[in-house]
Amino acid sequence: MSKTLRLLFFVTDFFFILYWLVTFFHLIPEEYLYQDYQNELLVIWNWSFFPLDILISVTGFISLYLFKVKNEKWRAFALLSLALTFCSGLQAIAFWTIKLDFDLMWWIPNLFLLLYPLYFIPKLITFKYHDVSLQAKHNH
pLDDT in tens, 13-51: 999 999 999 889 988 777 667 667 778 898 899 999 999
* Owning domain of residue 61: 3-139
pLDDT of 127 reads 62
Rounded to whole angstroms, the Cα distance separating 51 from 134 reads: 38
Which of 25-29, 30-34, 58-62, 129-133 is the least confident region? 129-133
For the segment 99-125, the average pLDDT, to the nearest whole number, is: 93
**Alpha helical stretches, state H, 25-49:** 40-47
Whether 42 contacts 96, CB under 8 Å: no
Residue 135 has pLDDT above 60, yes or no: no
Q: Work out the percent of the chain whose per-residue pLDDT is above 70.
A: 86
Candidates 65, 64, 83, 89; CA nearest to 122 is: 83
Q: How many domains does the chain have?
A: 1
63-90 pLDDT, tens digit per residue, is 999 999 999 999 999 999 999 999 999 9
For the segment 111-123, the average pLDDT, to the nearest whole number, is: 96
Rounded to whole angstroms, the Cα distance separating 23 from 26 reads: 5
Q: What angle do CA 118, 113, 98 make, to 5 degrees?
A: 105
Residue 139 vs residue 41, higher pLDDT:
41
Of the pLDDT bands very low, low, confident and very high (cuts 50, 70, 90), residue 137 is low
pTM score: 0.84
